[in-house]
């Protein structure tokens, strides 16, 4: 049976993938998040964001069954932590700019912050596996 910590990557991939599908295929349905009517440039930016999420979903789903001590999996987690940390900061800084509804901005910033925290917890929890792997290979 695979490591339960790998569920973090599975859930991350599923959530990112579903959000990517919505933003790429049903871009108009994201309008409920914003306080204004979306123009063509806004819709294009939302689709760009969807493309980014699709990439994150693929990377996350491909990484989920890799051993936790692999540098590429740990680097993927670090990249996700940075991404979600930056998204949290951007959403918090712009919550009073009247671009998004305040509740949507708050919920999205909490969501991204929690994802960053969970990935950081995974990174910390798997550090002992890396140490054990390195110690075993030195013999």
Long-range Cβ pairs for the range 88-92 (8 Å, 24+):
88/112, 88/113, 88/116
Mean pLDDT of all residues belonging to the chain: 89
User: CA–CA separation, 85 vs 109, rounded Å?
Assistant: 9
Q: Model confidence at 21, in pLDDT bands (50, 70, 90)?
A: very high
Q: Judge whether residue 1 has pLDDT over 50.
A: no
Q: What is the pLDDT of residues 116-129, one digit of tens each?
A: 999 999 999 888 88
Total-model pTM: 0.81
The string of pLDDT tens digits covering residues 67-96 is 888 888 999 999 999 999 999 999 998 888
Longest distance between any two alpha carbons in the chain, whole Å: 64
The 10s digit of each residue's pLDDT in 26-82 is 988 888 888 778 888 888 899 999 999 999 999 999 998 888 888 889 999 999 999
**E strand map for the chain:** none
Residue 2: the pLDDT is 65
């Amino acid at each position: 049976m695979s490591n339960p910590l790998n569920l973090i990557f599975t859930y991350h991939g599923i959530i990112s993938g579903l959000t990517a599908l919505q933003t790429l295929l049903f871009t108009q349905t994201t309008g409920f998040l914003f306080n204004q009517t979306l123009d063509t440039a806004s819709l294009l930016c939302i689709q760009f964001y969807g493309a980014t999420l699709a990439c994150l979903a693929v990377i996350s789903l491909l990484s989920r069954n890799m051993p936790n001590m692999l540098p590429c999996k740990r680097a993927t987690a670090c990249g996700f932590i940075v991404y979600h940390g930056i998204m949290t900061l951007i959403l918090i800084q712009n919550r009073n700019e009247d671009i998004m509804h305040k509740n949507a901005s708050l919920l999205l910033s909490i969501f991204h912050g929690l994802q960053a925290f969970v990935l950081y917890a995974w990174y910390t929890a798997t550090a002992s596996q890396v140490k054990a792997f390195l110690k075993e290979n030195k013999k």
